[in-house]
A and B are shown apart, each in its own frame.
Chain A
């Protein structure tokens, strides 16, 4: 069964994600009518679209049967795929981070930083993170009674936290934010490197390659510095790590920094901005949350489900397989649609309603299985701390204009959330 062309074209269209409703409608149709079927959008190689929560878990759990790295790990048009392979000596990847790796490399590389991201080791950062959160909230209060919560708080706070963890000096944070937005916002004319609508995929790819090059230049210098003088930061851990007694493959080490310096804040920023947007539109839930801070953990999980900042990852079958009764052939490409899994009517009651007390809330926003988000505990902690500090000070909040979503089909969320508020 093949997905109708209009739906297939929608699920790859960055503008559909910026619209919100268009992508939700497309996934709702697929979950109901063809939950695991093949799409053949114009300009893309065919791929299976996995829309049900249970099927996403099923695929992610079997990480040896469904690989991340055999083909592109994110959706790319055929022309871009060919050009990347040309540029990268046959590899379909512009970077080689945990996201593009399979075992045994994935496990070996993940172990290098895994300990640093476990809850018991993150706990010692909480006081410092709280101090950072308070600083941003003070700055928000100093703005008076209006701000763009996305640009003024949500983009900057998680950026500052991860850069401090990584070891990037504060002075370089604007550059890191710009490069991140160029990478994840490559299809958004307001955010990409070209500052324009990308009509020619080859031009868009060249711009992305320049962004990656800029990251690599930056982290090359940092690696050398941390090898000379290791510090208590993530960069020192990566720079001085060994696998089987050998330093990390240089490209993989650079990619490690890049993923930490991009996915390490953009996802949390999107979720935080989307969370405030949600309560600004729902005064009753805002009031309830303020009155009962014990609801913060469930509110937080709901913001993660609601925004689901990572829209998809691709997998490639390493052997013939069957999922949801559908035969998948060796080499087939599969799109795991996390926003769809997180609106699955079979798992979530009233999935299109934002409920601060939703329980259970087993969303798949962090993925599942061996590739589950490495930074999930850090992300949760920094968001919890922000809400714990912000909510008691926020007397009222409402939208002060129309929020805007980013135009992207991989990692995205709100890019502008104008609000009017009262704080003490």
Chain B
């Protein structure tokens, strides 16, 4: 499964779960998240997230 991880704090974005409390519905693709979005845990910009494959 493809996920996206913050380089600073390790927060992982799961597309299936989205971030409903941030206004990002479940199922939102990573590409659909605005470029000015920042990590909810530490404020790191979207550009500093890496794609990682989880089992």
Contact = CB atoms under 8 A, between A and B. Distances in A.
B10 A369 contact: no
B21 interface: yes
A101 to B, nearest CB: 14
Nearest to A121: B10
A120 B21 contact: no
Given A119-B10, A119-B12, A360-B21, A372 B41 contact: yes
A369 B43 contact: yes
B54 interface: yes
Interface in B20-55: 21, 38, 40-44, 52, 54
B10 A61 contact: no
B9 interface: yes
A262 B31 CA distance: 41
A118 interface: yes
B42 A369 contact: yes
B10 A118 contact: yes
A114 B9 CA distance: 9
B5 A61 contact: no
Interface string A366-399: 0011101000110000000000000000000000
B43 to A, nearest CB: 4
Interface residues of B, number: 15
25 contacts: A60-B43, A61-B38, A61-B43, A114-B7, A118-B5, A118-B10, A119-B12, A120-B52, A120-B54, A360-B21, A368-B42, A368-B43, A369-B8, A369-B42, A369-B43, A370-B8, A370-B42, A370-B44, A372-B8, A372-B9, A372-B41, A372-B42, A376-B9, A376-B10, A377-B10
Interface of B: 5, 7-10, 12, 21, 38, 40-44, 52, 54
A242 to B, nearest CB: 20
Contacts of B54: 120
Nearest to B54: A120
B47 to A, nearest CB: 14
A373 to B, nearest CB: 8
A347 interface: no
A117 B42 contact: no
Nearest to B9: A372
Interface string A109-140: 00000100111100000000000000000000
Query: Which of A57, A120, A360 has most B Cβ within 10 Å?
Result: A120
Interface residues of A, number: 16
B3 to A, nearest CB: 10
Nearest to A369: B43
Given A114-B7, A372-B8, A376-B10, 8 more contacts: A60-B43, A61-B43, A118-B10, A362-B40, A368-B43, A369-B8, A372-B9, A377-B10
* Residue of A60, A117, A369, A370 with highest tally of chain B CB at under 10 A: A369
A287 B50 CA distance: 41
B10 A117 contact: yes
A57 B9 CA distance: 14
B45 to A, nearest CB: 10
Contacts of A362: 40
Contacts of A370: 8, 42, 44
> Most B CB atoms within 10 A — which of A114, A117, A362, A368?
A368
B22 to A, nearest CB: 10
Interface in A222-263: none
Contacts of B52: 120
A60 B5 CA distance: 20
Contacts of B38: 61
Nearest to A63: B43
Contact of A57 (B5, B7, B21, B43): B43
B41 to A, nearest CB: 7
B52 to A, nearest CB: 7
Contacts of B41: 368, 372
Contacts of B5: 118
